[in-house]
């Protein structure tokens, strides 16, 4: 969460220039990614770990991560999240099917220790899946589909910025996004919430297959489109990886029942209105259109090369920072709370980012025992808890892997399960299991743009078996007629 303390004034003592610093050259850790360790000696010694991404390398992107893959009570170590999203499909290039090769990962926003949900907003692979705090002094780091990045300002993404338009022209406004549905509310659930909506049975739920994620759009006639696949009375609907669920209770349930028709189109609009920031270095409003990845942040310690000094700056702690300039995006982690590495104040963070890695902009994330950097699966720093902490979310530097498909099976053909078979909500072992079915059951393969897609080391098909429609590993299927020649994808 970002809070402005405009009345706070303190002369900045920049200690970095007084320290001697030992470091090696940048080491390549992936295509377009480098890593370097900095040892800062002096009165305030520190160990600093820095990874950078070359912004001009089109094979490099930023993605956010979610603990356990779900906003509902999800917490996981950064190492675990990096493994979860490695080789998983993404929406880069504004299509599903390319895959992540996770090179660097760090922890993200502060979070509720009871519920595990992030303090402020999140955008994951194009999905606007958790609202940002209203006018909280700023809104965090953002990476867009056109390879731009920025620090968001004070924002508004309250209900009035959302709209659902039915095919008959009628509209509705979701009260919440990925949150508990209470009496009289309409809630929009995306796949990042959980495997199901976990709602009570006294409502109506509309399951919608989307052509793209619920991306941030500028308003007007700009919508993300989907097709209504099911209108059901009850709760706890499954949320497949490319679907949303509109869940209504009371009046909103009546609205859904009267306007949602299976097979019809439905449009969803999600906006984020940015008002910029004030303080020592005011920033203008930013355009969030088709933001691809983002999480809430804490302190803007560097704005356009200026250390802001808009915060209480008395304590040194372990820190995690996202910084950037015109050429690079940096992840920075500082160890702390030991005699070897004290940690840093926010002014010292800003000075390090400006003076040692030539960043112009920097924002701190959750720190303390949460601060960790993982490079190619290895923890680089020394977490102050002694072990890695489970956190709510994070950011990742990713190489994009090409979309791969298999032509072994085709749409509308019959197959059979080969042994005990799991049916998942999406193509990949990181997606939740809907059901486990037995050997030898008939499977009807479904038409989908990703039929035969490769993810998490396997090829996947969408099919219906045992009353469930979901994603099945190709290795768990066999042709009904083993003498049939190779089936080509249609």
pLDDT, tens digit, for every residue of 222-235? 999 999 999 999 99
Residue 448: CB atoms within 10 Å: 18
CATH 2.30.30.40 fits 414-479, yes or no: yes
Distance in angstroms (rounded) separating the CA atoms of residues 317 and 330: 19
Give the pair of three-digit tokens for residue 81.
Answer: 């999240």
Residue 138 backbone class (left: φ over 0; alpha: ψ -120 to 50; beta: rest): left
Residue 193: name the closest of 88, 117, 90, 259 by CA. Answer: 117
pLDDT value of residue 9: 31
pLDDT, tens digit, for every residue of 55-87? 999 999 999 999 999 999 889 999 999 999 999
Q: Within 13 Å of residue 60, how many CA atoms lie on the same side as its CB? A: 22
pLDDT value of residue 481: 63
CB burial of 76-109 (b: ≥16 within 10 Å; e: otherwise) equals bbbebbbbbbbbbbbbbeeebbbbbbbbbbbbbb
Q: Is the pTM of this model over 0.85?
A: yes
Element (H, E) at 244: strand 243-248
pLDDT value of residue 309: 78
pLDDT, tens digit, for every residue of 237-252? 999 999 999 999 999 9
Could you list the pLDDT tens digit for every one of the 490 residues in the chain?
Answer: 343 332 323 333 333 333 445 556 999 999 999 999 999 999 999 999 999 999 999 999 999 999 999 999 889 999 999 999 999 999 999 999 999 999 999 999 999 999 999 999 999 999 999 999 999 999 999 999 999 999 999 999 999 999 999 999 999 999 999 999 999 999 999 999 999 999 999 999 999 999 999 999 999 999 999 999 999 999 999 999 999 999 999 999 999 999 999 999 999 999 999 999 998 899 999 999 999 999 999 999 999 999 987 777 889 999 999 999 999 999 999 999 999 999 999 999 999 999 999 999 999 999 999 999 999 999 999 999 999 999 999 999 999 999 999 988 888 888 999 999 999 999 999 999 999 999 999 999 999 999 899 999 999 999 999 999 999 999 999 988 654 443 333 3
Number of residues written out for the chain = 490
pLDDT value of residue 22: 55
Distance in angstroms (rounded) separating the CA atoms of residues 361 and 330: 10
Give the pair of three-digit tokens for residue 251.
Answer: 């009046």
pLDDT value of residue 169: 98
Domain residue extents for the chain: 16-157+272-401, 162-264, 414-479
For residue 285, the SS3 value is coil
């Amino acid at each position: 969460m970002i809070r402005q303390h405009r009345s706070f004034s303190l002369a900045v003592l920049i200690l970095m220039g007084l320290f001697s610093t030992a470091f090696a050259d940048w080491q390549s850790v992936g295509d377009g990614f480098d890593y370097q360790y900095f040892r800062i000696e002096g009165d305030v010694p520190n160990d600093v770990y820095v990874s950078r991404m070359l912004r001009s390398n089109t094979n490099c992107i930023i993605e956010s991560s979610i603990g356990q893959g779900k906003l509902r009570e999800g917490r996981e170590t950064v190492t675990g999240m990096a493994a979860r999203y490695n080789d998983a499909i993404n929406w880069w290039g504004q299509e599903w099917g390319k895959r992540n090769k996770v090179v660097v990962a760090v922890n993200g926003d502060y979070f509720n220790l009871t519920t595990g949900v992030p303090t402020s907003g999140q955008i994951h692979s194009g999905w606007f899946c958790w609202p940002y705090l209203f006018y909280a002094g700023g809104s965090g780091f953002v990476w867009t589909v056109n390879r731009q990045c920025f620090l968001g300002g004070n924002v508004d993404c309250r209900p009035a910025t959302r709209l659902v338009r039915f095919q008959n022209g009628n509209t509705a406004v979701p009260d919440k996004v990925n949150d508990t549905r209470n009496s009289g509310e309409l809630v929009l659930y995306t796949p990042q919430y959980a495997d199901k909506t976990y709602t009570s049975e006294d409502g109506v739920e509309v399951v919608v297959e989307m052509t793209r994620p619920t991306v941030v759009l500028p308003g007007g006639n700009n919508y993300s489109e989907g097709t209504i696949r099911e209108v059901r009375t009850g709760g706890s609907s499954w949320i497949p990886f490319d679907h949303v669920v509109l869940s209504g209770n009371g009046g909103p349930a009546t609205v859904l029942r009267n306007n949602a028709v299976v097979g019809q189109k439905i449009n969803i609009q999600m906006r984020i209105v940015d008002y910029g920031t004030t303080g020592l270095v005011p920033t203008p409003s930013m355009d969030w259109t088709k933001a691809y990845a983002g999480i809430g942040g804490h302190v803007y310690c560097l704005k356009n090369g200026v250390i802001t000094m808009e915060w209480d700056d008395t304590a040194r702690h372990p820190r995690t920072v996202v910084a950037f300039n015109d050429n690079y995006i940096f992840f920075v982690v500082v160890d702390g709370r030991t005699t070897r590495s004290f940690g840093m104040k926010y002014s010292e963070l800003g000075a390090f980012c400006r003076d040692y890695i030539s960043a112009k902009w920097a924002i701190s994330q959750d720190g303390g025992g949460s601060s960790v950097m993982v490079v190619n699966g290895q923890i680089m720093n020394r977490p102050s808890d002694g072990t890695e902490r489970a956190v709510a979310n994070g950011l990742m530097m990713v190489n994009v892997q090409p979309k791969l498909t298999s032509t072994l099976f085709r749409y509308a053909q019959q197959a059979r399960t080969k042994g005990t078979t799991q049916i998942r909500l999406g193509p990949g072992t990181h997606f939740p299991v809907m059901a486990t079915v037995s050997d030898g059951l008939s499977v009807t393969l479904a038409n989908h743009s990703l039929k035969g897609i490769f993810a998490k080391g396997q090829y996947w098909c969408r099919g219906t078996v045992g009353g469930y429609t979901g994603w099945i590993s190709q290795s768990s299927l066999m042709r009904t007629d083993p003498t049939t020649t190779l089936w080509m994808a249609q």
